[in-house]
Amino acid sequence: MQPTSNANQRIARISAHLHPSNLRMEGRCSSLMGANCRAKGGAPGFKVAILGAAGGIGQPLAMLIKMNPLVSVLHLYDVVNTPGVTADISHMDTGAVVRGFLGQQQLEDALIGMDLVIIPAGVPRKPGMTRDDLFNINAGIVKTLCEAIAKCCPKAIVNVISNPVNSTVPIAAEVFKRAGTYDPKILLGVTMLDVVRANTFVAEVLGLDPRDVDVPVVGGHAGVTILPLLSQVKPPCAFTPKEVDYLTNRIQNGGTEVVEAKAGAGSATLSMAYAAVKFADACLRGLRGDAGIIQCAYVGSQVIELPFFASKVRLGRNGIEEIFPLGPLNEYERDGLEKAKKELAESIQKGISFVRK
């Protein structure tokens, strides 16, 4: 084969990954689907899609996922600005091949063959807004995205970030049930930011490195539904009632703290992206077969009487391998759990009713 021909093929291959729509127009998109969707020299690993990749969370999340050595293919989907984000991220010299998908007409192509789908899509919270204020917009977005997931990659692990998580995870579950693809082991609401905040704030009080602190956070992912179990902190320690009040309130209102500090310029995007990639990495290590991968997540559960609840889970090749009980709670935590359950029940029903109406 002539050198010019080889060069043209290499250029075409690179162009195909950056601009998959060009191949669709030429009627050759099947060559890039599934296992073939990797450039020559691409690293072995898992295929990850980010839905909402051009947003405030999506962009730093895409960058961090691109840096993960477990990822071989990274699909970036959004309704606007995906080509620019794709071009930018694709210049990073890590193993993952990046492809961008723009608009509803390319959503299904973005999902074919994926092992993990991360959903940060939706509008961010602004000053004065609660997570429920986001519901009417984000609920519809999550429903649409999950319908496509059910069709194109029903076996993929799904990480839901879009708020209000307390409602959007039940929405996703209802969509998957309708499609006949629901598997509670692979649908996880990402509450990792609550854990990240809890570890950080507790470490500040104790004068420790946050990486040496582990705070279980259970319940949900909004306000009083966020319940840090400070009695189960590792390393074990005792807090005064004043410290417990301070830490619990700050952990529950961490999102509001960032929204107010940004003064209309956004919500918790960078810390959320960090937490999301930390959780995604745990899911991927579980898929790889690593042992002892335990994180908190909001999942279909029987830990309490509610159908969805955040608690510690063990991740493995099939997604959730085990859901852990709450363990012993002190009086403060038992009172907090009762408050959390009331609000959580309403949020869950709101999500279920949205799909069933």
Could you list the active site residues? 221
By three-state DSSP, how is residue 319 classified? strand
Query: Is residue 99 within 8 Å of residue 111, measured between CB atoms?
Result: no
The identity of residue 200, as a single letter, is: T
The identity of residue 214, as a single letter, is: D
If we measure between CA atoms, which residue out of 101, 116, 114, 90 comes closest to residue 24?
A: 101
Compute the distance between CA of residue 252 and CA of residue 223 in angstroms, rounded to an integer: 5
Compute the distance between CA of residue 253 and CA of residue 222 in angstroms, rounded to an integer: 8
Compute the distance between CA of residue 304 and CA of residue 169 in angstroms, rounded to an integer: 17
Compute the distance between CA of residue 8 and CA of residue 316 in angstroms, rounded to an integer: 43
If we measure between CA atoms, which residue out of 187, 89, 207 comes closest to residue 146?
A: 187
- What residues have CB less than 8 Å from 236, skipping those under 6 apart? none
Q: Diameter of the chain by CA atoms? A: 77
Compute the distance between CA of residue 42 and CA of residue 278 in angstroms, rounded to an integer: 23
Both tokens of 272, joined, read 């959320």
Compute the distance between CA of residue 143 and CA of residue 137 in angstroms, rounded to an integer: 10
